[in-house]
Structure 1
Amino acid sequence: MKKLSKSGLAAALLAALTWLPMQAHAGLFDDDEARKALLDLRAKVEAMRIEMNARLDTKSDKSAALDMVTQNENTMQELNKLRGQIEVLQNELSNAQKRQKDFYVDLDTRLRKLEPREVTVDGKAAQVDPSEQKNYDAAMQLFKAGDYKAAGTALADFVRQFPSSVYTPNAQYWLGNAFYAQRDCKSAIAAQLQVLKNYPDSPKAPDAMLNIASCQTELKDKAAKKTLQDLIKQYPESSAAVTAKERLGGK
């Protein structure tokens, strides 16, 4: 059934109002009765119009309210969907930031391992590369463990690889001791002579001379006495000089 709009309903009512007076003039009522009936009818029509408009407005309001509820529900669904997407993105961003932080921490740690660090050896401060420190420590660990052959090889490699290292005088000295521990006095003397030649100011130089004298004594080399005398003369304040004096005094 086709619904009438407000304008259509008004037109219908207007037609009814027009038709009724015409019928009144046709003789159904006299003038007074017709006028009264017309007024009553107009009042009824007006009341019907108001009631109809109210009903139409109420129905329109309900429809609009229903539409708004539906739109609100759709909007809430979209908001919930967006909220979920935002939470996922926030989680991914947090994970990415954590990975980035871990990466930079790891990178910084690796770079620090590659950076030279300052050490003090025999009262002398110097910059030492990580690989330099690692090789020296490994060679000395072999010596301390009593593996003198492997230690000698590692110390000789260190001297060749790091000739300017602050550890090189010590490495050369301990190389001589590694040979001596293997009872290879000739190699021990040669190694300790390198200490005296290349690092005469090293704190290990007096001990190197004492070790040379010890090897010369074992080889029954008469040069041992002169080596001890030179030791006392060149490094009179050293503990090695004290030992040299004791050895000379016993002869």
Structure 2
Amino acid sequence: MVFRLANRFTASFSMAGALASAMLFMAPAHAQDSSPMSLSDRVARLEQQQQNQDQYRTNLLNQLQQMQSQMQNMQGQIEELQHQVQQLQDQSKAQYTDLDSRVGRLEKSASANPAPAASSNGPAPAASAPAASTSSAPAAPTAPSVPAESAAQKAAALNAYNAAFKSIKAGDYVSSSRGFREFIEKYPNDALTPNAFYWLGESYYATTNYQVAVEAFKHLLSQYPQSEKAPDATLKLGYSQLEMKQTDAGTATLKLVVSKYPNSNAAKLAQERLRRLPQQPAR
């Protein structure tokens, strides 16, 4: 009984071994049939995932580059605005100092040359009293009235200039351009006329009327080349030319600022603007 069970167990074991061997033998064949397609699918899926990741990275890189470019452009604009603000502040200080000194000189001139109260009555005593005529003849009764009229005219010109200058400081460029034009027409020989041409150009430049601004700056530089506003006028002339897409002319004008006024604030601004200009291909 035990022997038969042992034989049956052995036979069963042998059969199980045979079946296992057959299955092991058949398994690779099945694997060979099915695994290439499964592997291909996996490879295709991995390749797709890799492509998606590559595209995602490329998109991110493009976005980062665009952001960097925008930040660089914004940084350049911020720096230019900061310099323009600083320039306006410096110009304002210089302008107010100049105006104060001019007012002081006018006041001193008025106090040093007061108009005599009876100057209009000078000729009358001369007709009735010859002796008085000989003593008062050198006084020239009409002479004191000339400085008085000149001082009054200068004061009126200064008031007109200040009104236009106040408009440009307030950002009212339409009023300032009108005020400076009227000042130039009414007081063409005033000491402040060169400055008026400069601020007239600034008014037009601020409203992007670059062609008229160029005319104002060029008139200042041709008629008043020694003006204290000449460096700034040359700088803004170059800016205007660049805004009008006259790249060669604007570049040449900015280089002229650097060479002609090397120690001026205008030269520093011109150098910075030149550095930001796109490099021209060699010809």
**TM-score, normalized by length of structure 2?**
0.43
**TM-score, normalized by length of structure 1?**
0.48
